[in-house]
Chain A
Amino acid sequence: AQSVAQPEDQVNVAEGNPLTVKCTYSVSGNPYLFWYVQYPNRGLQFLLKYITGDNLVKGSYGFEAEFNKSQTSFHLKKPSALVSDSALYFCAVRDNSGYSTLTFGKGTMLLVSP
């Protein structure tokens, strides 16, 4: 069975500082990895995904994520945080066999202070 762990319920960072939201996964076979963001009372918005190729993936709003196969991680990063980045972030994984379903982590609340 596939799974995703987001070890931090909340990440606090000051505006202008770099941010990292951690994600580790477990899947049989090769993974497809996704990051989504959820603002209050809104649906999930797609940020970026890793399918294959370059381990560093660039996405929306200046976010990027690095796929590390040996550490089974896919941490979300941004060089300079904005107050408007404050939201709930979800990591998700699917394996590449057939039509597996998307499994989400519990989510990490990112709070960026002015």
Chain B
Amino acid sequence: DSGVTQTPKHLITATGQRVTLRCSPRSGDLSVYWYQQSLDQGLQFLIQYYNGEERAKGNILERFSAQQFPDLHSELNLSSLELGDSALYFCASSVLGQGRETQYFGPGTRLLVL
């Protein structure tokens, strides 16, 4: 158990809908990362937050947004969902968000868009 928690574990929804994925980092970690894992794209970095502020942005669609709250938990919002958004979404955390730090991953949220 990495200490990173994600809810829900599974999510089934329809095209056009909006969902929110939640992540709680390990105790003491200030930085949170979001990744998308799909069969065709592999594991793709979406976005990073550090202590409530956006730190880095990757291949995140404009329909997707995220935030990190004062208690350091983070939410990833996916809107106007398309079939291609079906994937496994991971959250990871590290202490300060620096390059040499290990990122610890949560168990993921499996999203199925029908």
Which residues of A are interface residues toward B (Cβ below 8 A)? 32, 34, 36, 42-46, 49, 51, 90, 94-107
Contact = CB atoms under 8 A, between A and B. Distances in A.
B12 to A, nearest CB: 16
A106 B42 contact: yes
Contact of A95 (B33, B55, B99, B105): B99
Of the four ranges (under 10, 10 to 19, 20 to 34, 35 or more), the interface on chain B belongs to 20 to 34
Contacts of B92: 44
Given A99-B48, A104-B42, A104-B45, 9 more contacts: A32-B99, A42-B107, A49-B100, A99-B55, A99-B99, A100-B99, A101-B33, A102-B33, A102-B103
B64 interface: no
Contact of B56 (A46, A101, A106, A107): A101
Contacts of A107: 42-43
Contacts of A102: 33, 45, 103
Interface of B: 2, 4, 33, 42-43, 45, 48, 55-56, 58, 90, 92, 97-100, 102-108
B108 A43 contact: yes
A99 B98 contact: yes
Contacts of B102: 34, 46, 49
11 contacts: A42-B107, A43-B90, A44-B90, A44-B92, A44-B105, A46-B105, A94-B99, A97-B99, A99-B48, A99-B98, A106-B42
A36 B4 CA distance: 16
5 closest A-B pairs by CB: A44-B105, A104-B43, A43-B105, A43-B107, A94-B99
Nearest to B57: A101
A100 B48 CA distance: 10
Given A95-B99, A101-B58, A45 B2 contact: yes
A22 B100 CA distance: 21
